[in-house]
């Protein structure tokens, strides 16, 4: 076990060093700052516009506006985190083997399991840290420029981190059987499909369509990053939802996927899901001739 | 115990059989040349030996350990035909990574020694992306030697090198062998094998067609004599018969201006082994 972890640590450190040296982080930082600036401006404008709106006593405009724009920021954060996770893993096996980068490393004593674990750990650590930092930045900007504080911040941050960690595992599995471009396209399409199903689920909830809701719920288990995202949205507004009323009903619909609380065992399921994806990746990698 | 032992090795890719029961040995400190045309199965054999490709049948051991096992991988160094190091890394960083991967604790001393061995002492801090292909190839050999492997598996190590670079690698192989490292050199270049290898294995269509010590494979082809009547070759005669042939010619009143013992080159041996099969297949 210690050999596995030592090998994984070496591979992860190498992958992180590569990201630093290739200035990936600088590009991401620059784009994120631009995103943050635009978001701050948007929050400021939004809350300026709703200042004079009193909701006639049945609508809490500040909660609705804050939850909506922070939910949108959460989608943006997840999307950027997924892009980062995918680009850090999409060529980990087949792509690197085709370029001749993998063979000198994989013939060393570390073993294929340690290589996969190292690549996943590096991608998951970077993308999870990224979404947590950007999410908290979004929460801070919403508070500073709009005065809105969500009902929960810790759990949504952890769920976003879990979502990108699962995407990293899926992209790593894809990298064993698919070429770089095909894998990138496939993982992003799976991610998009997950969000789309979540959106259908929220429409199903609004229209009281059991079929659409069921499809969304099944998708949450099949593609648990989507379930984590939906629950993260729910956690933002859980207090308003429990209070009910028009505000509670509107915020529950949520932006881009709708909010929905998960089963209590869902986090455990996500861990198991990632382990199964990892085991499948290892089995496929062990069978692969390089 | 041999450093590489291959017995009855078969590799199939679907319906295509790349290796048909190959047997091969590389003894301790031995330098063996693996020759064969494109698609003969040389790279597949090398990749199975270092654990990149799984064998379908047969046994392959490296230093007594099953190929691909952790112990086997710890005992080998490998340079792939198509390899690349991260362009952002310096030569020293590449070797540091491989020291970590092999568990070598020899530190900067080993790195300096290996870079000196391949003539890259001055390029220690140079990034891979700033190196010529030849320099990268030499860095690849240095990388393969990290951790003092018992067996070095080199797949076309001189394919991208100019004549001077090839000579450097040849000298390097002799130096490496002097350190007690066994080498299996997979190459197209017969002259390279002829100059440095102890033994040659010629493989074609997944089977060993000829093997043996280089000197043993090269057979006498005759004795060429230059007389006043011109040059003629006494077919089948060897070095031992040259004095008798000259004496008989002189006794017969001929003037002998020159005598040369002819022997087949490794190229002849190679073409005999591979070319005959090619022509058999063509006519078949």
Quote ipTM for the complex.
0.79
Confidence of residue A241 (pLDDT cuts 50, 70, 90): low
CA distance linking residue B238 with residue B246, whole number of Å: 13
Residue A238 pLDDT more than 60?
yes
**The pair of three-digit structure tokens given for residue A35, joined into one six-digit string:** 């995103």
- Which residues in chain A touch residue B82, judged by CB atoms under 8 angstroms apart? 100
Cβ neighbourhood burial of A88 (10 Å; 0-12, 13-18, 19+): buried
- Say whether residue B150 is in contact with chain A using an 8 A CB cutoff: no
Q: Between chains, do B51 and A107 touch, taking CB under 8 Å as contact?
A: yes
**Does B47 touch chain A if contact means CB atoms closer than 8 Å?**
yes
C-alpha B124/C-alpha B112 separation (Å) is 8
pLDDT category of residue B284 using cuts at 50, 70 and 90: very low
Q: Do B85 and A106 touch (CB under 8 A)?
A: no
Burial call B234-250: b when 16+ CB within 10 Å, e when fewer:
eeebeeeebeeebeebe
Average pLDDT of chain B is: 88
Nearest-Cα residue of chain A relative to residue B55: A289
Helix-, strand-, coil-residue percentages of chain A, each rounded to 5: 80, 0, 20
**Subunit contact B97:A106, Cβ cutoff 8 A:** no
Q: Which residue range forms the structural domain that includes residue A63? A: 2-287
Minimum mean pLDDT range among A205-214, B65-74, B149-158: A205-214
What is the pLDDT averaged over residues A166-183? Answer: 93
Q: pLDDT at position A257, please?
A: 53
Tell me the average pLDDT across B194-221: 86
What confidence score (pLDDT) does residue B215 get? 76
Averaged pLDDT, A121-137: 94
Mark yes or no for CB contact B101/A108 under 8 Å. yes
> What CA–CA distance (Å, rounded) separates B249 from B56?
61
Q: Among the residues of B118-221, which ranges form H helices?
A: 133-144, 163-178, 190-196, 214-217
Tally the domains of chain A.
Answer: 1
Q: What is the location of CATH 3.40.50.300 in chain B? A: 4-215
3-state secondary structure of B107: helix
CATH 3.40.50.300 is the classification of domain B4-215: yes
Q: Which residues of B touch A105 (CB under 8 A)?
A: 97, 101
Q: How far apart are CA A232 and CA A131, in angstroms?
A: 12
Contacts of B52 in chain A (CB under 8 A): 103, 106-107, 289-290
Asked if B211 and B201 count as a contact pair (C-beta separation under 8 A), the reply is: yes
Q: Per-residue pLDDT for B104 more than 70?
A: yes
DSSP A48-115: HHTTT--GGGT--HHHHHHHHHHHHHHHHHHHHHHHHHHHHHTTTTHHHHHHTSSHHHHTSTT-HHHH
The mean pLDDT of B2-13, rounded to a whole number, is 93
d(CA A252, CA A237): 7
The CA distance from B10 to the nearest CA of chain A, in Å, is 14
**Residue bearing the bigger pLDDT, A129 or B277:** A129
B50 in contact with A, Cβ within 8 Å: yes
| 3-state SS track over B265-282 | CHHHHHHHHHHHHHHHHH
| Strand B57-62 to B31-35 pairing | unpaired
Q: Is the pLDDT of residue A244 over 80?
A: no
* Tokens found for residue B33: 């040349």
């Amino acid at each position: 076990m210690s050999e596995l972890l030592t090998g994984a640590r070496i591979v992860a450190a190498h992958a992180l060093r590569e990201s630093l040296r290739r200035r990936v982080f600088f590009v991401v930082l620059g784009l994120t700052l631009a995103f943050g600036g635009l978001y701050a401006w948007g929050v400021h404008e939004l809350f300026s516009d709703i200042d004079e709106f009193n909701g006639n006593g049945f609508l809490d405009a500040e909660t609705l506006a804050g939850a909506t724009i922070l939910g949108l920021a959460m989608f943006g954060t997840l999307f950027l985190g997924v892009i980062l996770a995918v680009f850090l893993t999409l060529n980990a096996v087949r792509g690197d083997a085709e370029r001749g980068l993998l063979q000198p490393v994989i013939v060393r004593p570390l073993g294929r399991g340690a290589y996969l674990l190292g690549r996943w750990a590096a991608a998951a650590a970077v993308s999870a840290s990224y979404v947590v930092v950007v999410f908290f930045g979004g929460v801070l900007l919403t508070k500073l420029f709009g005065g809105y504080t969500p009902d929960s911040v810790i759990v949504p941050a952890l769920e976003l981190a879990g979502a990108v960690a699962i995407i990293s595992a899926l992209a790593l599995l894809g990298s064993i059987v698919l070429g770089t471009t095909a894998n990138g396209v496939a993982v992003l399409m799976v991610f998009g499909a997950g969000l789309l199903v979540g959106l259908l689920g929220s429409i199903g909830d609004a229209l009281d369509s059991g079929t659409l809701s069921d499809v969304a719920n099944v998708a949450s288990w099949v593609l648990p990053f989507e379930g984590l995202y939906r629950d993260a949205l729910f956690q933002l507004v859980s207090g308003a939802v429990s209070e009910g009323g028009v505000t509670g009903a509107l915020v529950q619909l949520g932006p881009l996927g709708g909010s929905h609380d998960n089963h209590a065992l869902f986090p455990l399921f996500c861990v198991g899901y990632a382990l199964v994806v990892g085991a499948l990746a290892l089995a496929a990698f062990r069978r692969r001739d390089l | 115990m041999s450093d590489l032992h291959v017995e009855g090795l078969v590799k199939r890719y679907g319906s295509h059989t790349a290796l048909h029961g190959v047997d091969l040995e590389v003894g301790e400190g031995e330098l063996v040349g693996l020759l064969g045309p494109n698609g003969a199965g040389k790279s597949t054999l090398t990749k199975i030996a270092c654990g990149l490709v799984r064998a379908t049948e047969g046994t392959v051991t490296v230093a007594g350990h099953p190929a691909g096992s952790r112990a086997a991988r710890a005992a080998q160094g490998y340079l792939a035909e198509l390899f690349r190091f991260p362009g952002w890394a310096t030569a020293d960083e590449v070797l540091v990574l491989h020291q970590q991967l092999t568990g070598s604790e020899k530190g900067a001393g080993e790195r300096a020694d290996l870079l000196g061995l391949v003539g890259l002492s001055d390029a220690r801090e140079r990034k891979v992306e700033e190196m010529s292909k030849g320099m990268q190839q030499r860095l690849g050999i240095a990388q393969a030697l990290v951790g003092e492997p018992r067996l070095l598996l080199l797949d076309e190590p001189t394919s991208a090198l100019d004549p001077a670079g090839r000579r450097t690698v040849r000298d390097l192989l002799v130096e490496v062998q002097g350190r007690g490292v066994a080498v299996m050199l997979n190459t197209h270049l017969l002259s390279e094998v002829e100059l440095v290898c102890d033994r040659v294995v010629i493989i074609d269509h997944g089977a060993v067609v000829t093997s043996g010590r280089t000197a043993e494979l090269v057979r006498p082809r005759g004795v060429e004599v230059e007389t006043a009547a011109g040059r003629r070759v006494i077919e089948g005669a060897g070095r031992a018969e040259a004095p008798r042939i000259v004496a008989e010619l002189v006794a017969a009143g001929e003037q002998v201006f020159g005598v040369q013992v002819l022997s087949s080159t490794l190229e002849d041996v190679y073409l005999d082994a591979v070319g005959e099969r090619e022509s058999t297949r063509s006519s078949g």
